A and B are shown apart, each in its own frame.
Chain A
Amino acid sequence: MWASARVAVGLPATRMGRVRRAFSVLVVCAVAAGCAQTKSFQTSRDFAPPQGGSRVLLMPPDIEISELTTAGLEEPNAAWTLAARSSLGVAMADVAAAHDMTLVPYRPREPEAAYDAAHLQTVMLHEAVGGAVLLHKYVEKLSLPTKKDIFDWSLGEGAAPLRSDYDADYALFTYFRESFASSGRVALIVVGAIFGVGVPGGRQVAFASLVDLRTGDIVWFNTLVTGGGDLRTVAGAGTALQSLLGELPL
């Protein structure tokens, strides 16, 4: 009856106080209670991480945190995005420790650009390959018969520009989108519940892709969809990364 909702917890001071009290009865989807859904794939090809820990090139996470307006528009929030970027950075260190990984941060030569010009085609190729995985492995209707029970997507020699510029065994690409219901949206969810109309609240969507820089193969791919969590806090980022990267085969 009551749609689950993620209440906008404010970095900015808003008129949340009164609203928060009024809606404290709302059920908040707890990640621990199993609301987080993940689905991963591992390469069908031979895969053996190096002995004695791996060096992983951490590509700049593609992050956008927004506020979900009453009408369902997503208004991007720069402060929240920055907070999430910082929290995820901190939480990644824990993941690295747990998997015996040495993180090599990606550093563009020009601070203004997200990537070096020499790496652009590689990054865009990965985006296209990631898109193919999402479409043809995660959407039943679009599955490819030749890939039934096979997962062998790769960047091939397309990974070479990264391999030659960074001393790393793997590259980790991550993508996060998260939105938080504004107070108006929360109200709408409640109002909707009164009239028996389910109104979607905020959500968290992420995926991760681990690329073997030597072969270009995507050795592991995972997606995460959840109605709960908060990437802006270190604890929240930690929980999300635990779900997303917990099963990293390193």
Chain B
Amino acid sequence: MRPAGRALALCVLLLAAGCAAQGDIQDIAPGEVPPLETDEAGLWMVMDRAEQRLRASGRVVEDPALKGYVRGVVCDLSPDYCDDIRVYIVRAAEFNASMAPNGTLHVWTGLLLRVQNEAQLAFVLGHELVHYQRRHTLKRWRTVRNTTDSLVFFNFALAGAGVGILAPLVQLAALGGVLSYSRDQEREADELGFASMSAAGYEPKEAQKLWDMLLAEREASADPDRDIFFSTHPGEKERSESLAKLAAEVDGRSYQVRREPLLAVTLPHHDGWLHDELQRRDYGRFEVMLDYLQEAGEETGLLLFYRGEMHRLRGAEDDDAKALQAYRDAIATGKAPPEAQRALGLLYWRQGRNDDARTAFEKYLVLDPAAEDRAMIEHYLRQL
């Protein structure tokens, strides 16, 4: 046999022998732990280590009311898997939730800031729970492993036949969390997640509402391709339509939206979470998000303050005037944070309105006697 023919024969032989057994991957059972020698156990081992890392990282939000609430929603959606799922609230500005094959469920604070009610939260959590139940990560890993293995032999076989080595394969950066789901898996997670959400009594129309809100943000964003959630959960365009269709198919019972229980545990965190989001300096996205938050009619003073901050940082043509107005409106509600006075002072100072600046700085120091930057503000006052 010529060398190329020999290599090809070898490849075929070994491919047949070497394909990782796909078999029929069943749903994971409640309480199930994969046997030690399986590839699934390998994935668990890596994800267990990642979980330890997360706990040591200082990024986990420990608020018991918030943790208990999210965990409660998970357990209502899936009483069978409740004990196997460990919920971690992670302090991170972007909208994201991710389910690891070992039962670790991350919910980022950027998501908790954005969902308008418990129904929307339930949709996302229900969706993630399907990835766990149906072992999607393991299936993806095996597909990737098999595909890359076959591709490599394909390369060499072609090389043998004189076609030349194809471009080198890209290594996976990490397993589990970074592995993105296939579109089929996403569809399955939406359908089954949707079913569990409506079975639990949540308003089905909220799923599409949430999705449309995320799309609106993305369209306004300066950096739309960096969306973590979208990159690991593909299929955004068709999703909105399918979610609308799913909602229409559900019968006309009365469903719950449940805003108050969500707001009760998340509102106290909004100041910090809004600050995190503003650090991304993605003003288009931030403005869309503020518009949605403003719809709810809560915390107007805080939202107006952040609108002012956004204009200040963006610093385009008439942003200074808009910032000024927003700070003043915030203060007028009587519920603005003390920083609004400081921000006003800094803006007046920049505009040469020294008397107004002085008044604002003095008010700031009265409202926040323990201000960390008192020494600096007093220095400003001496300069004015």
Chain A interfacial positions (CB closer than 8 Å to B): 11-12, 15, 18-19, 64, 66, 69-73, 75-79, 81-82, 113-115, 120, 124, 182-184, 187-188, 190-192, 194-195, 197
Contacts and interface: CB of A to CB of B under 8 A. Distances in A.
Contacts of A76: 42-43, 45-46, 175
Nearest to A13: B37
A64 B41 CA distance: 13
A77 B37 CA distance: 7
Q: Taking chain B's interface residues, is the majority helix, strand, or loop, or is none over half, making it mixed?
A: helix
B229 interface: no
A15 B17 contact: yes
A179 B145 CA distance: 16
Contacts of A184: 14-15, 18, 149, 153
A190 to B, nearest CB: 8
A70 B153 contact: yes
Nearest 9 interchain pairs by C-beta: A71-B148, A78-B41, A70-B149, A79-B37, A76-B42, A184-B18, A79-B36, A78-B45, A187-B14
Contacts of B172: 73
A91 B148 CA distance: 37
Contact of B156 (A81, A113, A195): A195
A18 B17 contact: yes
A149 to B, nearest CB: 36
Contacts of A75: 39, 42, 141, 145
Contacts of B171: 72-73
21 contacts: A19-B17, A64-B45, A69-B149, A71-B169, A73-B145, A73-B148, A73-B172, A75-B39, A77-B37, A77-B39, A78-B36, A78-B37, A78-B38, A78-B41, A78-B45, A114-B52, A191-B10, A192-B156, A194-B7, A195-B156, A197-B165
B37 A187 contact: no
Contacts, number: 95
B250 to A, nearest CB: 41
A84 to B, nearest CB: 12
Interface string B39-64: 10111111000001001100000000
Contacts of B11: 187, 191
A61 to B, nearest CB: 13
Nearest to B40: A78
B160 interface: yes
Contacts of B367: none
B268 interface: no
B263 to A, nearest CB: 32
- Which residue of B10, B11, B42, B175 has the most chain A CB atoms within 10 A of its CB atom? B42
B41 A70 contact: no
A71 B151 contact: yes
Contacts of B39: 75, 77
A64 B3 CA distance: 38
A105 to B, nearest CB: 18
- Name which of A70, A77, A81, A187 has the most chain B CB atoms within 10 A of its CB: A70
Contacts of B46: 64, 76
Interface in B118-145: 141, 144-145
Contacts of B38: 78
Contacts of B159: 195, 197
A159 to B, nearest CB: 18
Contacts of A18: 17
Nearest to B156: A191
B14 A183 contact: yes
A15 B171 CA distance: 26
A52 B263 CA distance: 65
Contacts of A188: 152-153, 156
A78 to B, nearest CB: 4
B10 to A, nearest CB: 6
Contacts of A77: 37, 39, 41-42
Given A113-B55, A187-B10, A82 B18 contact: no
Contacts of A113: 52, 55
A184 B44 CA distance: 24
B241 to A, nearest CB: 36
Contacts of B44: 78
A12 B172 CA distance: 25
B18 A70 contact: yes
A115 B43 CA distance: 21
A69 B145 contact: yes
Contacts of A82: 36
B36 A187 contact: no
Contacts of B148: 69-71, 73
A196 B353 CA distance: 77
Given A76-B45, A78-B41, A194 B149 contact: no
B331 to A, nearest CB: 42
A191 B36 CA distance: 32
Contacts of B169: 71-72
